[in-house]
Chain A
Amino acid sequence: MARYGMALDYKNCINCKACEVACKEENGVLLGADKHRIWVGSNDVKGEWPLLDIASAAFLPSQCQHCDDAPCQEVCPTHATYYDENNVVRVDPDKCILCSYCMNACPYDARYVDDRTMTVDKCNFCAETRIARGETTTACQNTCPTKVRIFGDLDDPNSEISETLRVREHFTLKTHLGTNPKLFYLT
């Protein structure tokens, strides 16, 4: 029993996309531009030479926020979207009817349709692969060369993520929607 979350030291991201590749490889995510569980967003640099706004050119890795109050879970008519024993938001493909309501309700664009099962798929913190094998890291975290990602149990006060969130300032995305995301961006 844990409450898994992830902290992202996003300013260290160099946009190498190793995390995206590792995620697809580990979890067997299909190829194709719209088939992605995680992504690295980038902003165009603002301003005109030589007054370029370097700070605007940040990379922003993102994915399902595993919200504590997930809209996708609330709107699911068959409980196909559920919280597992580790408070990870997951999809049960046997129960998913592909009404796509969760895709519309998710504020983070974190869901897509898996063409093999024709059901909705999303990041599950490698619950069916690495975590099921007893490992304690996710594929994206394990592969990141600049150590952007810290994954762990938010309920364990001694975990690295809890320690980091105690000492580093952080924010969450679209906080005003009351979804209580478990993805934290370190500033």
Chain B
Amino acid sequence: MAETVEKTEEMGMIDKAKAFVSTIPYNKIGMKDLTDFEKTPRNNLVAVLTLAFVAMFVVGVAIYLMHGHHAYNVTREHPWGLLIAVYIFFVVSSTGLCIVGSLGDVFGFKDYEMISKRAIFGSIVTILAGFAVIAFEIGHPVTMLIYNVISPGLTSAIWWMGTLYGIYLTFMIIEFVFLLKHDMKNARIFGLTGLLVGLAAHSNLGSVFGFLNARPISNGVFYPTYFILTAFITGIFIAYILMGWRYKLDFPTEAKKMLIGLAKIQGLLISILIFFVTWKMLTDIYGGMPNRSEVAIHILGSWTFWAEVILAMLIPLYIILKDMGKSINAMFWASLAGMVGIFFMRYNLVHDTQLKPLQMMKIKEYQLTPEWIHYFPSMTEIMISLGGLGLCVLLYYIGSKLFNLDADEAH
């Protein structure tokens, strides 16, 4: 008897879940709908590039499956390469979009509600792209899924970061579903929880580097806090790109108002970032502390550092300050440049951490030079990285056809 009641209850739960899923609004699409876009040269170029990148992902993964980490240029002295940087790039983008999306639907800033759904969907596709890339960097991803659960290393920042990002993704999906259903109360609850978990995950990612006592250039409180700041900046850059693409740079009044507001916030954030980076560099160099000051001076001499500064900081800040964020079309282009700068920011973070040899007197017999560790990504690493970008754009495009990412009328 009890078994029958239990079974009926179980059926009830399944039916309820089915009923809930069936009420999620989406458009039925086929291949024809996916190929149905305005055939302008710009759109065609993006379509071809996206498909080419996805093809590169497939080829890169095939090479990796055949040769393992030998397909990458990572070494004993430089075990983290481009794929780690690209993973960070995507998860920073995701956290940033989550922050931007939360402005409207969690914190109730009416001006920013129009981008909430789009930004939250963006945060889901970017983190999925990040997971797709890291799955081929971690040597044993299946082992990871098993032992992360049955043998958790609670003192490991990587464990916390990975676990929290998994929970964060779940909350983002639930929030997105409630946004689609226009259930703002539940969207706010899951949005706020997801945001808090996402921020915790993201600062844990910073602590993966901050906890490295062996690497004085990264060790300390800087990265866990800086990651949150740069995530917000990245989120605003992507918000500009998404809105610019959506409206083909011909923005309605409401979007203009929102983008000008975001540009003003961005101006403040980039100013704080410049302030942060300047003092980080000065404290690194000051006093000539071994293993830190010479690394910082070396970083100042690398072109990738200046690519980061010019593209992600100086150009966007100049465009914002010129007329207090009113040049939103220029900001669209500056945001594209900004994302290239943000990529270099992530690459530099990973590479610079490993620049300095650990000085265990391995000088002549082994390949370790006493100067700097060199690294340049292999073709396979580059293909998988570009593939991550292709996957991200493709998923976003499919999502924009499948769901209504614009704000609802009654919103």
Contact = CB atoms under 8 A, between A and B. Distances in A.
B139 A33 contact: no
B360 A41 contact: yes
Contacts of A80: 147
Given A95-B151, A105-B212, A42 B156 contact: no
Most chain B beta carbons < 10 A, residue from A62, A97, A111, A115: A97
A100 B212 CA distance: 13
Contacts of B75: 34
A99 B212 contact: no
Contacts of B77: 34, 109
A99 B143 CA distance: 11
Interface string A167-184: 000000110011000000
Interface stretch (A47-55, A68-76, A130-138, A142-150): A68-76
B116 to A, nearest CB: 33
Grouping DSSP codes into helix (H, G, I), strand (E, B) and loop, the A interface class, with mixed when no group exceeds half, is loop
18 contacts: A34-B77, A41-B361, A41-B363, A77-B144, A77-B153, A77-B162, A95-B147, A98-B69, A98-B139, A99-B139, A99-B158, A101-B156, A104-B79, A107-B214, A109-B77, A109-B357, A109-B362, A111-B76
Contacts of A98: 69, 138-140
B366 interface: yes
Given A33-B366, A105-B212, A78 B76 contact: no
A40 B69 CA distance: 27
A120 to B, nearest CB: 9
Most chain B beta carbons < 10 A, residue from A36, A79, A115, A178: A79
A139 B148 CA distance: 35
Interface in B328-384: 353-354, 357-358, 360-368
B365 A75 contact: no
Nearest to B68: A118
Given A40-B365, A109-B77, 7 more contacts: A41-B365, A44-B363, A62-B360, A71-B214, A109-B362, A109-B368, A177-B214
B76 A109 contact: yes
A109 B155 CA distance: 21
Contacts of A6: none
B40 interface: no
A90 B139 CA distance: 19
Contacts of B25: none
Most chain B beta carbons < 10 A, residue from A75, A115, A173: A75
Given A33-B366, A104-B79, A77 B148 contact: yes
B69 A103 contact: no
Contacts of B159: 77-78
Contact of A77 (B69, B156, B354): B156
A158 to B, nearest CB: 32
Interface residues of B, number: 45
Nearest to B370: A44
Interface of B: 68-70, 74-77, 79-80, 138-141, 143-144, 147-148, 151-153, 155-159, 162, 208, 211-215, 353-354, 357-358, 360-368
Interface residues of A, number: 45
Nearest to A58: B361
B384 to A, nearest CB: 16
Contact of A39 (B156, B215, B366): B366
A90 B90 CA distance: 34
A106 B155 contact: no
A127 interface: no
A96 interface: yes
